[in-house]
Structure 1
Amino acid sequence: MKNQFYSALYPEDGNMLLFLLFQFFVSFLITILITPKLIRLVVNKNIGDKPNERSSHKNITPTLGGIAFFISLTIGILMFSLLNTWLPLYLFLMGLSVLFITGLIDDIRVLSAKAKLIAQILAISIVLIGIDLDSISLHGFMGFEEIPSFFKFILIYGTFIIITNAINLIDGIDGLAALLGIIILGIFTFFFFNLGSISNMILSVVLMGSLSAFLFFNLSKKRKIFMGDTGSMIIGFVISYLTINFLSLSNADLGSIGVSPQNAVYFLIGMLFIPLLDVVRVFTLRIMKGLNPFKPDRTHIHHVLIDCGLSHAKSSLIISVLAILNVGIIFTLGMNSDVNIFVVIMLISAVMLQVISFLKNNAGIFNKGISLTDGTHKMIEYFLKSLKEGASVVFRSLF
């Protein structure tokens, strides 16, 4: 029996959009009301984030903002349970609870990378119980259509671990993880809305509402709070779950939302391009230097922009705009099954790496009286010069 209070909003009665807006507003309101209390609690307990040599902030700052994300998601899922009982969503909440507790402990007293990995594996194992392995497909990615169950287990664990930690690592400056989360979740919302997948939409919309409210505090100078590992791992875990559900769509479903089935995986890579490129680049640089790939430093994309003299807000905005443009390019070209999206992604990666290289070699460029426009022109000139030199080397090697 549907709860009468929510019956007017129930999506099966044709009010799906209204129901989602209601969920977004409730999540937004919960975060707005809870966050000031979290700030006071953290300040009183003196458990804020203390700056170190790789920090982008100078003062002790309240953390644990991710608590509001967890509360919002829990309430959103429980509200949905008043309308419909869906076991996979309950299992997801159980797995998320494990990750939430792990992040909470890590934010208060630092956990080792090994301890966090074990907790992530446990959380994934709980969620895995509710995942239909038979429906998961790579849709022809690199020639693979159907894959054995054993490799599906590897795919699921790998997807969760890589994405969760990639989002966690990109959370280094104000607003960045929240903005990228909103962009990715917004795209998932659009797709699942057109497919009528209410459970996936609830996760996306509720977390988007919470992240939108969180930005008011995260970008504030007087009431600032960080989401901490608690928040970044929640964002990554939700996106990982939606990614697996996206891979579970049929070819017909993918076609109905404008995604060519054989380009489905490439499109997911495009959505997550910035965090994935950043983690691959950083880990590669550390390994090449003979360092532990998990040892923190200031080589992330956002650190490079900050070191060039850009503010946190400008750096986060630039990276977010690049993420949107990247998704737009890949989605537009990916609608055509004849386009080799792998080549497109490689070209975009080359451009991004060249730009990062230029900025890395010109630290403080925006502190030297150079405008953002002039700096952009210099980056383009640097890239074209590098492209010309690279083409010359290839030409000489071939001829």
Structure 2
Amino acid sequence: MNLMVYLLLTTALLAAELLYLRVARYYSIVDKPNERSSHTGLTTIRGGGMLFWVAALGAFFYSGFVYPYFFLGLSLVAAVSFFDDLRPLPNRYRIGIQFVAVGLLLRQTGVFPDTVWMMGLSLIIGVGILNAYNFMDGINGITAFYSLVAVGTLWYWHGQQPIDSAGLAISGALLPFTFVALLIFSYFNARRQAVCFAGDVGSVSVACIILYALLPMIRQGETYLPVLFLAVYGVDSILTIIHRLALGQNIFQAHRLHLFQLLVHKGRWPHLRVSAVYGLVQLVINGLILPALTWSAGAQAALAGAILGSLAVTYVILKRRLMHSRV
């Protein structure tokens, strides 16, 4: 893509975001803080991350409609997530659509397990990733910064591959279009007083795009190491679930026990500092993973263990200190 395409894309996406913000203000589509929110007040617009679906739509047209199954799945989860932003939906509806979307994603990438149990496991893991990404959307800038790191890394890798091996749909348009959308969203979200939040429609949509771009890496490299592109979010989400289960809490109810939430509420860190730390730590991890994709299985396992172990130990130490600190 040349400079003119990027200029037209930026103009179109910026216009789409401004139009949505105007419509959302008119219809009062604003954030309503709950037990997991790290904000107060009702003035911040919800659902600004609809821009990621718009970017995927543009990439779909630009690339000649080459990923219909994926785009259908993305559109389904974006629609149900947006309705959930407007009015909470029962979990069975959201989860059901997410299973369908992940199935369509697997069909599009050709990563379709042969056995029923492997298919079921793949669907469960995919839906788990979508929801973990959604759970982590809670403070200004965190979805923007973290997603810029993830999408940027994937864009770089796909750009180094022959088109017919990495896939025209991914390397040609989807990731650069999404990256531009994330930059525009960052302008409105990554500030002390955010203009808008991504909402479920934004966090689930970008998670779906990232998952779609991860699968060719896993298939081509015959390694699950690229999953660690989501290691920081993953460790925080999984260990927080374990912590809540140990406390006897309902893990489907809103809460403030993620590490990033405690850093804000207990540690008194500014939102953007926490978001920047999460993004920078993940960037360093991604920088370690990329050259390791050609290592032996043993070396990759050792690296994965070191990364996950370090994140887990850091999580436990920081959380223990924050949980016992006085506000």
Asked if Structure 1 and Structure 2 have the same fold, meaning a TM-score greater than 0.5 normalized by the shorter chain, the answer is: yes
Partner of 1:71: 54
Partner of 1:373: none
Partner of 2:299: 340
Aligned partners of 2:259 and 2:319 also within 8 Å: no
**SS of residue matched to 2:33:** coil
The gaps in structure 2 that reach 5 residues or longer are: none
Residue 264 of structure 2 is aligned to residue 306 of structure 1: yes
Residue 159 of structure 2 is aligned to residue 177 of structure 1: no
Q: Distance in 1 between matches of 2:206 and 2:240?
A: 21
Partner of 1:282: 240
Could you say if the C-alpha distance between residues 43 and 364 of structure 1 is closer, same or farther in structure 2, counting changes exceeding 3 Å?
Answer: farther
- RMSD of the alignment, in Å? 2.6
Larger Rg: 1
The gaps in structure 1 that reach 5 residues or longer are: 1-17, 137-146, 255-260, 369-399
Q: Distance in 1 between matches of 2:107 and 2:293?
A: 32
1:235 is aligned, of 206, 227, 240, to 206
- Structure 1 residue 206: deviation in Å? 1.0
Aligned partners of 1:219 and 1:313 also within 8 Å: yes
Paired letter, 1:315: V
2:127 is aligned, of 154, 161, 164, to 161
Using structure 1 for the length normalisation, give the TM-score.
0.73
1:199 is aligned, of 147, 161, 169, to 169
Partner of 1:248: 219
Could you say if the C-alpha distance between residues 358 and 159 of structure 1 is closer, same or farther in structure 2, counting changes exceeding 3 Å?
Answer: closer
- Structure 1 residue 200: deviation in Å? 0.8
- Structure 1 residue 73: deviation in Å? 1.3
Partner of 1:41: 23
Using structure 2 for the length normalisation, give the TM-score.
0.88
1:105 is aligned, of 74, 80, 83, to 83
Q: How many aligned positions are there?
A: 320
Q: Distance in 1 between matches of 2:18 and 2:194?
A: 8
Partner of 1:397: none
Q: Distance in 2 between matches of 1:23 and 1:152?
A: 41
Aligned partners of 1:27 and 1:76 also within 8 Å: no
Could you say if the C-alpha distance between residues 129 and 320 of structure 1 is closer, same or farther in structure 2, counting changes exceeding 3 Å?
Answer: closer
Residue 45 of structure 2 is aligned to residue 62 of structure 1: yes
Q: Distance in 2 between matches of 1:125 and 1:351?
A: 33
1:120 is aligned, of 90, 98, 101, to 98
Partner of 1:187: 153
Higher RCO (CA 8 Å, separation ≥ 6 residues): 2
Aligned partners of 1:64 and 1:107 also within 8 Å: yes
Aligned partners of 2:229 and 2:282 also within 8 Å: yes
Q: Deviations over 1:204-263 (max 9, x none)?
A: 1111110111000002456610110000000111111112222332xxxx4xxxxxx4xx
Once the two structures are aligned, what percentage of the paired residues are identical? 21
